[in-house]
Structure formats: C-alpha cells, structure tokens
Amino acid sequence: MNNQMTTRTPLILILAATLLLAAIGAYLFWPKDSMSVQEPAGAAAEEAATAAAAAGMNADDRKATEAIVRAYILENPEIITEAIGVLQKREATQRLSAAGAKLTEPFPGAEFGNPNGDVTLVEFTDYNCGFCRSSVADVQKLIDSDSNIRVVIREVPILSATSRDAALWALAAAKQGKHKAFHDAMFSGGRPDAQSIRAAASKAGMNLAAAEKFARSREAIAEVESNIAIMQQVGFGGTPTFIIGDQILEGAVGLDALKAAVAKARKAG
C-alpha cells in the first residue's frame, strides 16, 4: 500500500468494522421468514461501497481491508456480543429518556422508602408474579439498609384477570394511604382472587366499601393502562422489572444487584 493508504488505514478499519458489525446485527435480528431478508445485507453492502469510495479506497484496498476485518472478527467473535450489548444499552437509555419524568412520578401514595431520597427505584409488578413475590424481601432489605432510597411501585397486571383486580385494589389502597401495607399483605398471602384481595385489604386496614368503589373508577383504570403503556414504551414485557437511573433490571435479580445499581446511579447522579 502507498503512504496515503497507510495514513488512512485506522479510519478505514473502523469504518469497515462498523459496517460489517451492522450487517451481522441485521442478519442476527432480521426475521428469517421475511420476504426481504436480504435487504439489510444489501443495504449494508451498498453503504460500505459508498463509504469506501468517500474514503478514496480502490477495489483492492477495500478487498484487503474487508479481509483484515473479517479475520479479526473470526478470531475475536466476542466483539459481536459486546457490540450488540452496547447497542441495546444505548437504545434502552434512549427509551427511558423518552419516557421522561412520568416514569418516576408515582400514583399518589404508591411509593415508600424516603420520598426525598436521592435515588429512585421504580418497580413494575404483578401480584400473580412469583418472582415479584420473591423480590419483596430484597426491596425491603434494600430500603432498610439505605435510608436515602425512594421506591415507586407501578402496577402492571399482565398475567391474569385477577392480577388486574389486585392492581386496582392496590391503587385504592394508595388512595387511602395504605399501599405499602396492602402490597406486603397481598404478596404474603395466596394468589389473587376475590377472597385473598379482600383479606389483604382488611389486613392493611382499608375501608373496603370505598376501595371497591375506587377500584371500579376511571382514575384507577387509567393508571393501570398508563403503567402498561410505559412498560411497552420502555421496552420490556415481564415482571418484576426495576428501573434505577438509566438501568433496567429484569427479573428477581437479588439484593446485591439492586445495591450495585443504586450505587451506580448514585455515582452517576
């Protein structure tokens, strides 16, 4: 290669690697039964050709560069996973940003911990979710060990009709200032049904008649629908899901993971 080509090589390699990884990503995630399955690869090839021409590469230069990049990726395939991870994190951060302040603004009363805490943990939960049930103790230990955490509960009844009934009653509990008590009683009891929901409400000291009326209200229904819409906007479909700062933790991740996420958010913030 001539001196001009040698000078351009780092930029060309970065450019070629980026385009090749984009093509690989398109191949991995494009529906295999799609009629246009070849379209992403074709688009990437066309973009690569345009980029090569803009960089002043001739056909031999481009062929040599592609061979180097291909050999490197075959020898270090883990960079594909790393690149996909970076992309997914970037997209998740963008979705969280798009959700805006409404993500951390609770339904009045549906929060506990320190209302003025410097870190907010948002938990999306379903009372029929066994993993949510097992996470209750972890969240409690977290706030017991850290007095500067605010917990916002978002009711997302996605598992069954009884999940929806329990979620609406949880909002009624929040309206009466008894959300935490109902939340804990519901998860410490049996699976949601008419009897267990009322038992949890009684244990929480709720006014049952007022709760039943509010659970049928447009306000309660609108809150549940809003929570599900936020879940879809952020881009996850299971419970429990925890959002702490710009981090999304899905599943029963455990106390240590929650603490680490809080520490990271606090450091960033």
Q: Give 54 or 230, the one with higher predicted confidence.
A: 230
The whole model's pTM is what? 0.70
Per the rule left: phi > 0, alpha: psi between -120 and 50, beta: everything else, 82 is: alpha
pLDDT exceeds cutoff 50 at 157: yes
CA dist., res. 137 & res. 143, Å (int): 10
pLDDT exceeds cutoff 70 at 27: no
> Residues for the chain: how many in total?
269
Q: Name the pLDDT band for 78 (thresholds 50, 70, 90).
A: confident
CA dist., res. 179 & res. 263, Å (int): 27
| Tokens describing residue 138 | 């972890």
Q: Name the pLDDT band for 67 (thresholds 50, 70, 90).
A: confident
For the chain, percent of residues with pLDDT exceeding 90: 55
* Most confident among 13-22, 25-34, 90-99, 201-210 (mean pLDDT): 201-210
Q: Name the pLDDT band for 228 (thresholds 50, 70, 90).
A: very high
138-174 burial string, b = 16+ CB within 10 Å, else e?
A: bbbebbeebeebbbbbbbbbbbeebbbbbbbbbbbbb
